[in-house]
Structure 1
Amino acid sequence: MRIAVYLAHPGVGSFNRALFDAVLDELRGRAIEVVSHDLYAEGFDPMLAAAETETVDGTPTDNAQVRRYQEELAQLDALIFVHPNWWGLPPAILTGWVQRVLTPAVAYKLADAAGEPIGLLRAKRALVLNTSDTTEDRERDVFGDPLQQIWAACVLPYIGVDDVRRKVFRTVTDSTEETRTAWLREARDLAAALATDI
């Protein structure tokens, strides 16, 4: 079993980093092969080049880092993303990763002229762990939970991931150490459940 875990937060002391580390530790403790990527530490460039927008035929990118991420995708059984909610969006580095890595002929193909996608990934499960300083009621009632729409309605189903699990840890800024410890245990449990269900 092979699971990739992606972190999109620039702060080495952030709670996102703590979630990432807890998930990695849990999975590795279960003898699962883990591919880990801290997109900021790896210096991933989220800027989509003009040439990369012309890949409807699956023409490979000439960017070695993007190619490496794409080659890994074919060997994964599940995906885990860890990132904050910034303006109802993933950080720009992760949005750029989606746009540059999850390309036609790598992650999906279009079945017909109407644009119905066929996912090409072996991975059919994903877990998204978000942090937020917005209350659940406000996120749902005022904003419509945009991250749920992005991950569970747009990105992941498009590439063939039909089991999308998501947990939001909120509100982080005023959380206690005790609460954060409980959240880290919950993140471990969610990662373990994702791996067990494969």
Structure 2
Amino acid sequence: MRTLVLFAHPVPESFSSSLHKTVVDTLQARGWEIDDCDLNAEGFSPVLTTEERRNYHEEDINTGPVAEYVERLQAAEALVLVFPVWNFGYPAILKGFFDRVFLPGISFKLVDEKVAPNLTNIRKLAAVTTYGGSRMRAFLSGDPPRKVVTRPLRFVMHPQVKTRYLALYDMNRADEKKRAGFVERVKTEMERF
């Protein structure tokens, strides 16, 4: 299965990096074809420019500045996001990827003035993430990252997309045992994914 892994953490020795490695290694061991996109290492610019915003709805030209990433997204049959939750949201580089690459005509299309999914090539979606705070704290804040993955992001993909959201909460107080347990959970879930 062709899988785009989007990784969004700037520090190579971070716990997120070990989760990223676990995802890639596990899926490769299953024989999956991995397009490993480390947004920071690739120097992806998350900034939606003035011209990009002006041309946002112009489907014949809106993909120009991010054509390589659009091609990679359209070639994928599965999408796996690996990122930390910072300030109740995505790292800026991942949010910028959504802003710049999930464009009209790419992730969605307008049909009779209604939004319809357009990434129906993607049949599996997973997010692997960590939160500094507790699950209760995330719940009380509305847990925006979880909601975006399991609702609007999921909506633009195949109608029967298999979705997994794997989160380690309270990372700021997680000991080695808890972190190792989460790595094992990620490995197990990716083996079943």
Q: Same fold (TM over 0.5)?
A: yes
Equivalent of 1:148, from 135, 146, 149? Answer: 146
Tell me the residue number matched to 1:38.
38
**Following the alignment from structure 1 to structure 2, what is the Cα–Cα distance between the partners of residues 4 and 120?**
13
User: Please, which runs of 5 or more residues in structure 1 have no aligned partner?
Assistant: none
Tell me the residue number matched to 1:107.
107
Tell me the residue number matched to 1:92.
92
Tell me the residue number matched to 1:51.
51
User: Please, which runs of 5 or more residues in structure 2 have no aligned partner?
Assistant: none
What is the percent sequence identity of the aligned residues?
A: 28
Tell me the residue number matched to 2:174.
175
CA contact (8 A) 2:78 2:122 kept: yes
Q: TM-score, normalization: structure 2? A: 0.91
Q: In the TM superposition, what whole-angstrom CA distance separates every residue of 1:82-119 from its partner, at most 9, and x where no partner exists?
A: 11111111011000001111111222211122x32232
One-letter code of the match for 2:175?
T
Q: How many residues align?
A: 190
Tell me the residue number matched to 1:22.
22
Runs of 4 or more consecutive aligned structure 1 residues displaced over 2 Å after TM superposition: 59-63, 115-121, 158-164
Tell me the residue number matched to 1:139.
138
CA contact (8 A) 1:84 1:132 kept: yes
How big is the shift at 1:159? 4.2
Q: In the TM superposition, what whole-angstrom CA distance separates every residue of 1:28-72 from its partner, at most 9, and x where no partner exists?
A: 111110110111111100001122222324123332xx2111111
Quick check: 90-99 or 162-171, which moved more?
A: 162-171
Tell me the residue number matched to 1:3.
3
Q: TM-score, normalization: structure 1? A: 0.89
